[in-house]
Chain A
Amino acid sequence: DIQMTQSPSSLSASVGDRVTITCQASQDINDYLIWYQQKPGKAPQLLIFDASSLETGVPSRFSGSRSGTDFTLTISSLQPEDFATYYCLQYVILPFTFGPGTRVDV
């Protein structure tokens, strides 16, 4: 199975900060990566698919990029509603595997 690691596991930030979260795959997954946002008690919401494509309705302050097996989610200017946990998912091959998550708080 493909292993996904995320860093950092948590971070503290302020409104207006630029935030970067990284996900690394244990092998080549091409661009088959999704980023999700999850708020407490809620289902995950898709932000980015195919590593860098913004889902319809997601604010443009969210962006994704890829360098080899390293993937980055960037929030250009953190907003109050962005405090949440972020997960990556690889879908190049079954079984799908999620990263362990990155919690973003104040």
Chain B
Amino acid sequence: QVQLVESGGGVVQPGRSLRLSCVASGFTFSGYGMHWVRQAPGKGLDWVAVISHDGKNEFYSDSVKGRFTISRDNSKNTLYLQMNNLSDEDTAVYYCAKDRRLYSFGCSSWGQGTLVIVSS
């Protein structure tokens, strides 16, 4: 079955950087788009970014554009999120999610999430 395992979360100071990883198994990773979605404590779901199955297309929410970079290594079945210039508003659980198709047909399976806390 589909399994997505995120890692890389932790406590980081404002203005610093962090890289999240998501290792996928149970499906053909290179055949699906992948997303990052976040959820601030006690709040709703907030879509962050998507990357196409082949890594050639990316799209970001306005709130992270220019600061976050989504990438993938299909040889390692791994999705990444490089987060730069972090602020308090980026504090959240970050989920990776598998797309239903090649790029942008909605999120099907989700990982368990990794918590990022931005605090001085």
- Hey, which bits of chain A sit against chain B, CB under 8 A? 1, 32, 34, 36, 38, 42-46, 49, 87, 89, 91, 94-101
Residue of B nearest to A87 (CB): B45
Q: How many A-B residue pairs have CB under 8 A?
A: 56
User: 4 nearest interchain CB pairs?
Assistant: A43-B110, A91-B106, A96-B47, A94-B59
Known A44-B110, A49-B106; contact A97-B47, beta-carbon cutoff 8 A? yes
- Hey, which bits of chain B sit against chain A, CB under 8 A? 35, 44-47, 50, 59-62, 95, 100, 104-113
Chain B residues with Cβ under 8 A from A32's Cβ? 106
Known A87-B45, A101-B44; contact A94-B106, beta-carbon cutoff 8 A? no
Question: What's the least CB distance linking B70 to chain A, in Å?
Answer: 12
Chain A residues with Cβ under 8 A from B113's Cβ? 43
The CA of A42 and the CA of B113, in the complex, are separated in Å by 8
Chain A residues with Cβ under 8 A from B109's Cβ? 46
Chain B residues with Cβ under 8 A from A44's Cβ? 45, 95, 107, 110
Question: What's the least CB distance linking A90 to chain B, in Å?
Answer: 9
